[in-house]
Structure 1
Amino acid sequence: MDKHSLSRTGRGRACRIVWIPKYRRKVLYGETRREVGEIPRALAERMDGVEMAEGSACPGHIHICLRIAPKLSAGDVIGKLKGKSAIIPHERHPEWRRAAGRERTLRARGCCVSAVGLNGSVIRRCIRNQEDGSRIE
């Protein structure tokens, strides 16, 4: 039995996760984009039972593919990744906190999660729905 199996469950599931910056802030460019993209990878390496297969920080969204052990909840893993990966950049860049007021958020609420195999149009629709939900009115 390998480390990703339980007695009655085979390999862990692979999930594709997409989330956007809150209010579509223009922070995911250049060196910042590289830094913000490396944070979820470092957090996933520290979590037991989570492996990051691939990931990218695009200017408009963050896209990662995780392998999650069967004993873990995908929602809990994603919550920890999103929460910590939003706080760490604000600690490294205090000027972001001044620009955003007291908020220490970087990510919009919600994310698109699916088993691997989801097509591109569904992912784009999820990103658009997130964008509509995070607009200031």
Structure 2
Amino acid sequence: MSRYAKNSGAVFALKYHLVWCPKYRRSVLVDGIAKRLDQLIREVANEFEMTVHAMEIMPDHVHLFVESDPRWCVAEIVNRFKGRSSRILRSEFPVLRSRLPTLWSRSYYAGTVGHVSEETVRRYIENQTGK
């Protein structure tokens, strides 16, 4: 397995640690809701050719380690996961509609995960010559 992925115009290694919470950080991601959320996240990832490297669904938040290609910006990736899961979970589990005005809070955390450190990249760029 290569440490880089490719598409028709790019070679990349774009991996993100994403975290998001239910509205008011309610502990609603349990039992059947958590199982269905896991399925929905994997469906979205598959549809948009993303790789889920790790996922942990806690009662009051979700951790996702996902890899995507450069076609999708981080905000779009998060919105695809949150949008579809909210719509479907709220239709399949009425308790979510009665307890929350929306399933997810508007905010999220996104961090990049890479093979080289910031210092290595800085040093590499600084050592380039205009030849």
Structure 2: give runs of 5+ residues left out of the alignment.
115-131
Percent identity of equivalent pairs: 24
- d(CA) in 2 for partners of 1:40, 1:16: 14
SS in 2 for 1:85: helix
TM-score (ref. length: structure 2): 0.73
Matched residues in 2 for 1:43 and 1:50: separation? 8
TM-score, normalising length from structure 1? 0.70
Question: Higher strand fraction: Structure 1 or Structure 2?
Answer: 2
Of the two, which has the highest radius of gyration? 2
Structure 1 CA distance for aligned equivalents of residues 32 and 91 of structure 2: 16
Deviations 1:25-83 (A, max 9, x none): 22112232222233211211111x32222211012210011111023212212111111
Aligned to 1:80: 80
The number of equivalent residue pairs is 112
Q: Are 2:20 and 2:107, in contact at CA under 8 Å, matched by a contact in 1? A: yes
- 1:62 pairs with 2:62: yes
CA RMSD after TM alignment:
2.3
CA distance in 2, matches of 1:46, 1:81: 11
Q: 1:111 aligned to 108, 115, 125, which one?
A: 108
